[in-house]
Structure 1
Amino acid sequence: MPAGPPLPAWLTRVGVFDLETTGVDVESDRVVTAYVGILDADGRQVAARSWLADPGVPIPDGATAVHGITTAHARAHGRPVPEVVAEVTAALRSLFRQGVPVVAYNASFDFSLLACEAARHGVDPLTDPAPVIDPLVIDKAYDRYRRGRRTLEVVAAHYAVPLVGAHEASADAIAAGRVAQALARQFRLPENPVQLHTHQIGWARSQAANLTEYFVSIGRLEPDDMLDGRWPVRHAGPIVE
């Protein structure tokens, strides 16, 4: 098999971001854990910060089953969620101001929930973060007809990226960053992260429209419903796992 394109220079230092939360509703659910880090060209973590928040509401058993954080643990060891949201937002804003692209898998979930949390707690939200790199959107765009699910675990395995400790914020964020780099080595991405960010806005909108059409056809959505394709920050809409 011929070698793919080399890693673009703008992916040799990349931010990575992930949240674990109380649920999947971006407007009403809350941050539980967060991670922001930086990877080098080899996908090695060269800077990192993690947060554990007391979300101020009970953590449902279903969410605990995913990420392992109980209400009791968050209350005993977590920091007040307004402080965590402010610090995570500030960390991401600092990366964007430096021109560092930030990878987030299914970015419209994490950035939307963070923005809603910020607004809830009086923190200036990131309403138009850029440049963002979303391996989920990119993978669907470049390998549209590949069968199977597109969860981070599945996509990481497809691109031979190890993922140990899935649904832990740092593990997911680092794996997502490495998947982004793997995608760039396999496919010829746009010349710079700003162009890629712009392309992803259109790709996400088209992907949401196609998925809406499919879900309506199999009865998972009503004909008048529509998945929200705004990216990387959207408002609440039907969320289908």
Structure 2
Amino acid sequence: MELNLKNPIVFFDLETTGINIATDRIVEVSILKVNIDGSEEVRTHRVNPEMPIPRQSSEIHGIYDEDVKDCPTFKGIARELARFIEGCDLGGYNSNKFDVPLLAEEFIRAEVDLDMQKRRFIDVQTIFHKMEKRTLEAAYKFYCNKDLKDAHSAEADTRATFEVLKAQLDRYKELENDVVFLSKFSTFNRNADFAGRIIFNDKDEEVFNFGKYKGVRVTDVLEKDPGYYGWMMNGDFPLYTKKVLTNIKLRQFNS
């Protein structure tokens, strides 16, 4: 089944130096852009992360320091990437928890103002886990009856993700071929930030989703424990989380 699109959608996958959203960096990004007419464009970039790639990460994705030492930094390609995905919804595999937050961090570091909150996000892994509970390789075999060759190369994983979503639409009649529906179905929480540290409750109020104040409204915490803001701003939290927290603090101050 082909996707019913109101906007173009980009499926993307990141290979990185590690899994810490706040401190790790992109070493490869591959983007499959599916236009409203069904035509496709693919772009893959190796990226110099400006830090050593840990051996355990290189052994997973096969990208070593020597492979990226002459590649552009993310800042060098950020504006081009932003233009390429402008106006597009986003799709990926485990993307809501990892790829989208890390990409947002990289754009902030590159000082490129890309408003990703206006997008719809489809996480194929979430759909898969809600329906079958497996990995990407198993999903590809299960839905597409194919073996995923070159797994953990960004382009292979990106195309497999796109094919799995189309196969999911064919298999599950309860899934609507609509990006708004799939975006909502792909999400467990309604995140205020991409990392899910701050989420919305059923009253559309921002609440913390971790630590001793989990489930407590952010505005209440900032009022009764103002030092918590400084602790988070100085801590190892994603830049986008700090940006959201600051916006809430400023909104509270100006109200």
In the superposition, the TM-score normalised over structure 2's length comes to: 0.66
Gaps of 5+ in 2: 197-210, 215-239, 243-255
Matched residues, percent identical? 26
In the superposition, the TM-score normalised over structure 1's length comes to: 0.69
Is the counterpart of residue 156 in structure 1 residue 140 in structure 2? yes
Q: Greater shift after overlay, 19-28 or 101-110? A: 101-110
CA distance in 2, matches of 1:169, 1:40: 20
Q: Cα deviation per residue 1:61-112 (whole Å; 9 max; x = unaligned)?
A: 1111111111122112x11221233333332224x1xxxx432001121110
Residue in 1 that maps onto 2:90: 102
Gaps of 5+ in 1: 1-5, 209-222, 227-233, 237-241
Residue in 2 that maps onto 1:53: 47
- One-letter amino acid of the counterpart of residue 73, structure 1: D
Larger Rg: 2
Is the counterpart of residue 118 in structure 1 residue 107 in structure 2? yes
Residue in 2 that maps onto 1:211: none
Match of 1:54, SS?
coil
Number of equivalences:
195
CA distance in 2, matches of 1:183, 1:49: 24
Q: Which has the higher contact order (CA 8 A, sep 6+)?
A: 1
For residue 35 of structure 1, report the CA deviation from its aligned partner.
Answer: 0.9
CA RMSD of aligned residues (A): 3.2
CA distance in 2, matches of 1:18, 1:142: 22
- One-letter amino acid of the counterpart of residue 166, structure 1: A
For residue 19 of structure 1, report the CA deviation from its aligned partner.
Answer: 0.8
CA distance in 2, matches of 1:74, 1:133: 30
Residue in 2 that maps onto 1:212: none
Which among 184, 187, 190 is matched to residue 198 of structure 1?
A: 184
CA distance in 2, matches of 1:62, 1:126: 33
Aligned pairs for 1:168-187 (under 5 A) are 168-187=153-172
CA distance in 2, matches of 1:163, 1:204: 32
Is the counterpart of residue 91 in structure 1 residue 84 in structure 2? yes
Q: Greater shift after overlay, 187-196 or 172-181? A: 187-196
Q: Cα deviation per residue 1:170-192 (whole Å; 9 max; x = unaligned)?
A: 10000000000111100021352
Q: Cα deviation per residue 1:20-43 (whole Å; 9 max; x = unaligned)?
A: 1111111111011111113589x9
